[in-house]
Amino acid sequence: MVSRRCCAMQFRKWRASLRVITVFIFLAIFAYDANWNVLTFSRTSGVPVTPWLYPAVFSDRYLMMCICLAVMVLFCDAPFLDRHQPYLILRSGRGHWALGTAGYLLASSAVVSASIFLMGMLLGIDTLTFSTGWGSVLQSVAGKPIIPTRILALYSPLAACGLAMLLSSLIFCFLGLLFFLCNLLAPPVVGTLAVGAFCVLDFFSLFFLHDAPWLLHLSPVSWANLNQLGTTGWPTVTYALSMLVGLNGVLLCLIVLRCRRMDIQVTHSEMGR
């Protein structure tokens, strides 16, 4: 209960945060970029489109890197110390505070992932139709850069969207927890470099190392790509899910242990926020 209150307090800060608003504006731009080709085709042909393009967003490796960089901006000051936090820590205890902040990171990661799906639906509201199948429009453009054929062949729409949302949420949470731990242990620049490196690692692997299998198995940002998971040199879906759960669990344990053993100090710049 105490941890939930700590989590809820972080969400209440969104209303007055220019950074959060900016991040979601960029997410809307990314959603538009991912959907506009299909929506244009649907409007031109007069055939409604189903809202299941969402899994293909995370198979676009450049777009996924951009989304992760936006998430990096959202979480860059984890554990979000401001003038309210010392009192919250005193009232809840450092362990509950750490769990509540970690819970916020997971919940906000899910919100970010779901918002990309919802933004895509809102952009195509005038030409949208709901169906349990992929629909004729997505099947017509399958195989083009818009949506990979392999996703349509291996998954049902609901399974693909659910799996993409789960994987992307765990990836965003990993980036947030890594920021949290690094900012507890070292100056902020260390967390920025570490999280930034993970954000660009998949793109680096594609263009400079020709998708080296050893690097793909070490790059969590690569693990939401349903078009590639399970192919030669790539990890499987089971590997991706188990590793993301394990990594997030390890980071959470390290954060809680560190918080219980250290004095959390708030700087003058943070007190003014």
For 199-231, write each residue's pLDDT tens digit: 999 988 888 888 889 999 999 999 999 999 999
- Tokens 């989304």 correspond to 67
Whether the per-residue pLDDT at 273 is higher than 90: the answer is no
The sign of the torsion formed by the CA atoms of 164, 57, 237, 50 equals positive
The pLDDT of 237-259, averaged and rounded, is: 95
Cα–Cα distance measured from residue 146 to residue 60, given in angstroms and rounded to the nearest whole number: 9
Task: Supply the pLDDT for residue 79.
Answer: 85
Task: Supply the pLDDT for residue 264.
Answer: 56
Sorted by sequence, the CB contacts under 8 Å of residue 58 that are 6+ apart come out as 64, 67, 164, 167, 168, 224, 225, 226
Task: Supply the pLDDT for residue 263.
Answer: 66
Pair 11, 112: CB distance under 8 Å:
no
Instruction: Tell me the pTM.
Output: 0.92
Q: Which two tokens stand for residue 86?
A: 């010392």
The pLDDT of 73-94, averaged and rounded, is: 80
The pLDDT of 16-32, averaged and rounded, is: 93
Count CB neighbours of 125 within 10 A: 9
Q: What digits encode the pLDDT tens for the residues 138-168?
A: 988 887 767 888 999 999 999 999 999 999 9
Task: Supply the pLDDT for residue 85.
Answer: 72
Task: Supply the pLDDT for residue 270.
Answer: 47
Q: What digits encode the pLDDT tens for the residues 182-195?
A: 999 999 899 999 99
**Residue of higher predicted confidence among 6 and 187:** 187
> If you count them, how many residues does the chain have?
273
pLDDT band at 272 (very low <50, low <70, confident <90, very high): very low
The three-point CA angle 224-154-139 to 5° equals 100
**Residue of higher predicted confidence among 86 and 40:** 40
Name the nearest CA neighbour of 213 among 232, 197, 230: 232
Count CB neighbours of 16 within 10 A: 8
Task: Supply the pLDDT for residue 77.
Answer: 87
Cα–Cα distance measured from residue 20 to residue 148, given in angstroms and rounded to the nearest whole number: 31
Q: What digits encode the pLDDT tens for the residues 25-75?
A: 999 999 999 999 899 989 999 999 999 999 999 999 999 999 999 999 999
Cα–Cα distance measured from residue 117 to residue 51, given in angstroms and rounded to the nearest whole number: 8
Q: Which two tokens stand for residue 35?
A: 């959907």
Whether the per-residue pLDDT at 121 is higher than 50: the answer is yes
pLDDT band at 267 (very low <50, low <70, confident <90, very high): low
- Tokens 């850069």 correspond to 145
Q: Which two tokens stand for residue 227?
A: 């078009």
Q: Which two tokens stand for residue 172?
A: 């965003």
Task: Supply the pLDDT for residue 5.
Answer: 75
Pair 36, 115: CB distance under 8 Å:
no
Task: Supply the pLDDT for residue 145.
Answer: 67
CA 36 to chain centre: 21
